[in-house]
Amino acid sequence: MEERYFGQIDVTSLKGIPVNDLIVLLGTMGSHIKAHEMYQEPFIEGVLNGDGFIDLSWKLQQAQDDAATKDTGKRAYLEQFIQECIVNIRIFVNYAEIRAARHKDQRYLEGLGLKKKEKKKNSRSSYGPLGATERFVVKHGPVSGSLIFQIAKVLAAVHYDLEMCFGDPNNEADWHAAGTFLNTRNVRLDGLEPGKVYYFRVRVFGPGGFGPWSNVIKIMAV
């Protein structure tokens, strides 16, 4: 049996479902199942057919009306009967999933009047690691020892990590974090030593993790 046929139908939404919504759901399921091309043959014992769900819907409506009298026994029966209805829905869903998997036919899971699970968007699977920014430039800032960086935006970037080096740029041990930025325009760095040569690089962090480092730029602080 193929796992892809299991778990498509959202049964978690049944927990805490309002009685009126459950009444409607039972009746809708019954009508859909009765007219469904894949469920015309006899059902196995213990699995309700379309008429069975319609009957449950009617009985639940009656139980709700009886419980409105505030009779504690009838209210307790209503709560018990709600759980019985939910169990029968779950049994049918399991039955439908098994038949779909056995026959490798998605039609067993379609058109039942039941809500399908929404597929979660996995941002990490939607995006691989982002590429390097296409433009990374630097210029001297308005005061001594300051620099202004311009970084081209990268689609889906969460933030930009800037590193600087004042030793050998080919030695990873000489690189140090200079800041993390959300914006890409007029990123300013202050407190640099005038007359000293610095190297800078930037990389992007996105849904797929860190991208590669950009080109290395070299500049002397003034």
pLDDT tens-digit map of 58-84: 999 999 999 888 788 999 999 999 999
Q: Say if residue 97 is in the same domain as residue 167.
A: no
Distance, CA of 192 to CA of 143 (rounded, Å): 10
- Count the helices and strands in the chain (H runs, E runs): 4, 8
Structural domain range at position 157? 124-220
Distance, CA of 65 to CA of 76 (rounded, Å): 13
Asked whether the predicted pLDDT for residue 210 surpasses 50, the reply is yes
Residue carrying structure tokens 């759901």:
25
In a domain, 118, yes or no: no
| Strands, E assignment, 70-186 | 136-140, 147-151, 159-165, 175-181
In a domain, 165, yes or no: yes
Q: Say if residue 138 is in the same domain as residue 206.
A: yes
Q: Could you say which of 78, 109, 140 is where a domain stops? A: 109
Q: Residue 154's domain is classified under what CATH number? A: 2.60.40.10
pLDDT tens-digit map of 163-206: 999 889 999 888 988 888 887 888 899 999 999 999 999 998 88
Q: Could you say which of 48, 83, 109 is where a domain stops? A: 109
| Domains: count for the chain | 2
Q: Say if residue 26 is in the same domain as residue 70.
A: yes
pLDDT tens-digit map of 91-122: 999 999 888 888 888 888 888 888 887 665 55
Q: Say if residue 137 is in the same domain as residue 46.
A: no
Question: Which residues are within 8 A (CB) of 157 and not within 5 positions of it... i.e. 6 or more apart?
Answer: 130, 204, 205, 206
Q: Count Cβ neighbours within 10 Å for each residue of 188-202 and write b for 16 or more, e otherwise.
A: ebeebeeeeebbbbb
Q: Say if residue 154 is in the same domain as residue 200.
A: yes
Q: Say if residue 57 is in the same domain as residue 30.
A: yes
Cβ atoms of residues 133 and 202 within 8 Å: yes
Q: Say if residue 188 is in the same domain as residue 105.
A: no
Q: Say if residue 136 is in the same domain as residue 173.
A: yes
Q: Say if residue 144 is in the same domain as residue 102.
A: no
pLDDT tens-digit map of 18-48: 899 999 999 999 999 989 988 887 788 889 9
In a domain, 115, yes or no: no
Cβ atoms of residues 35 and 49 within 8 Å: no
